[in-house]
Amino acid sequence: MRRSSIINAPITRRRALRAGAAAAILAGAGLPRRSRAAEQELNILVWCDHTDAALLQPFEEAHNVRINVKDYQETGAALAVLEQSQPGDWDVFVVDSVDVRRVAEQGLLAPLDDVQLPWDSIFPELHAPELHKIDGKTYAVPEKFGYNSIAFDKSKVEEAEVRRADIMWNPKYKGRIAVYDYYIPAMEMVALGMGIRPDQITAEKLPAIREKLLEIKPLASVIGDVPTVQNALVTGAADIIIAGGEFVVAGLAQENPNLDWVLPDSGGIRWMQGVGIFEASQKKELAAELVKYIVGPDGQARLATASCYWAMPTNQQAALGDAEKQRLRWNEQPGFIKNSYPYFIPDETLNKAMLEVWTEFLQA
């Protein structure tokens, strides 16, 4: 079952974000950041937000190290990269929290020293030892999280309306709705709107969820990846994005202050990523320093506002400014965390059934 959660793990929002961030990557991490020779190198396998030069450069300069970055789009792709690598090629791994145990059980991750990690500053609800620990040993520390909720243009939609999940079926917004095309959180959002918790989704409940999902299609103007739904919101093709969230709009809010997001009162889906060290790394001490930096106050602020996508830092001490916190709805986090559900990764059979329903939705 766990294996299927990785092999079949559908790609996350970041796959699509990668396309939108390509220019930023080229402008930043994709190009040599420093001219002077570094004494040593670290190789990191990460999501695209970690390719931001603004995040890596301070660490490189402080430790006289060059960080070589490889970003990937889904856990399966990362495992494929690892299969083609030699042990020791990679030092640091950023991975979806739901996949940490499986990766650790394959012997790929080294235990982390809890003493070195700022657990006291990390939102207690995000510790999730069932995801990050095996037999009391920590294999990854949560570093960033966010929500599949609803993003919207507040010049056209009242926030009070967005807080009601039934906005997804409100005929008033016919032709004004974009749907983020990652089917698991999107369908889990629909389920939540029906009063079904994500972990309560079963094959038996799928027909009812399918029916409600198909009701959205005539109202939708766009179904697409992150750049596509962002584009729809910015160009006026849509007023709300179902299954969008801070990762879609927070980075755009400076140019488009009307773009916002909120968790509906019925709840949303919470995603989280962790950072760990490869067991085969030959530079574990330096890798541990990088992990400490990333989950420290400065690194957390830079990671939260990385050019690829913004999202909440797990460390409550993250050195974010007021405006940045506002965009991330920092003050509402306790309520949001309480009212959101971790990604529920279905088993292979249910996953295929959900994808079949989603394919039907796309074709409807």
For another protein, which is the closer residue by CB, 30 or 227? 227
Figure out which of the listed residues 87, 88, 195, 236 binds another protein, where binding follows CB under 8 A: 236
As measured in angstroms, the least distance from the Cβ of 278 to another protein is: 21
As measured in angstroms, the least distance from the Cβ of 235 to another protein is: 4
For another protein, which is the closer residue by CB, 198 or 313? 198
Helix ranges (DSSP H) in the chain: 2-7, 13-27, 53-63, 75-83, 100-105, 129-132, 159-162, 183-193, 206-216, 226-235, 246-249, 284-295, 297-304, 322-327, 333-338, 348-363
DSSP secondary structure letters along 114-182: GGGS-GGGB-GGG--HHHHEETTEES-EEEEEEEEEEEEETTTS-HHHHTSGGGGG-GGGTT-EEEES-
Question: Between residue 63 and residue 102, which ones bind another protein under the rule CB under 8 A?
Answer: 74, 76
For another protein, which is the closer residue by CB, 79 or 141? 79
Structure tokens at 143: 């570093």
Question: Between residue 344 and residue 363, which ones bind another protein under the rule CB under 8 A?
Answer: 348, 351-352, 355-356, 358-360, 362-363
Figure out which of the listed residues 183, 293, 309, 341 binds another protein, where binding follows CB under 8 A: 183
Please tell me whether residue 41 adopts helix, strand or coil conformation: strand
Q: How many residues bind another protein (CB under 8 A)?
A: 37
As measured in angstroms, the least distance from the Cβ of 257 to another protein is: 17
* Residue from 59, 48, 42 nearest 17 by CA: 48
Does the protein bind another protein through residue 121 (CB under 8 A)? no
Question: Between residue 136 and residue 155, which ones bind another protein under the rule CB under 8 A?
Answer: none
Neighbouring residues of 92: CB distance < 8 A, sequence distance ≥ 6: 42, 43, 44, 45, 46, 275, 276, 277, 278, 281, 287, 290, 291
Figure out which of the listed residues 8, 266, 316, 317 binds another protein, where binding follows CB under 8 A: 8
As measured in angstroms, the least distance from the Cβ of 201 to another protein is: 16
Does the protein bind another protein through residue 227 (CB under 8 A)? yes
Can you tell me the distance from the alpha carbon of 146 to that of 72, in angstroms, rounded to the nearest whole number? 19
For another protein, which is the closer residue by CB, 195 or 236? 236
Does the protein bind another protein through residue 223 (CB under 8 A)? yes
Torsions phi, psi for 272 (to 5 deg): -155, 145
Are 40 and 91 a contacting pair, CB within 8 Å?
no
As measured in angstroms, the least distance from the Cβ of 197 to another protein is: 22
Count Cα atoms within 13 angstroms, Cβ side, for 39: 6
As measured in angstroms, the least distance from the Cβ of 310 to another protein is: 21
For another protein, which is the closer residue by CB, 163 or 217? 217
As measured in angstroms, the least distance from the Cβ of 84 to another protein is: 16
Structure tokens at 318: 């993250």
Positions touching another protein (CB under 8 A) are: 1, 3-4, 6-8, 10-11, 15, 19, 74, 76, 181, 183, 220-225, 227-228, 231-232, 235-237, 348, 351-352, 355-356, 358-360, 362-363
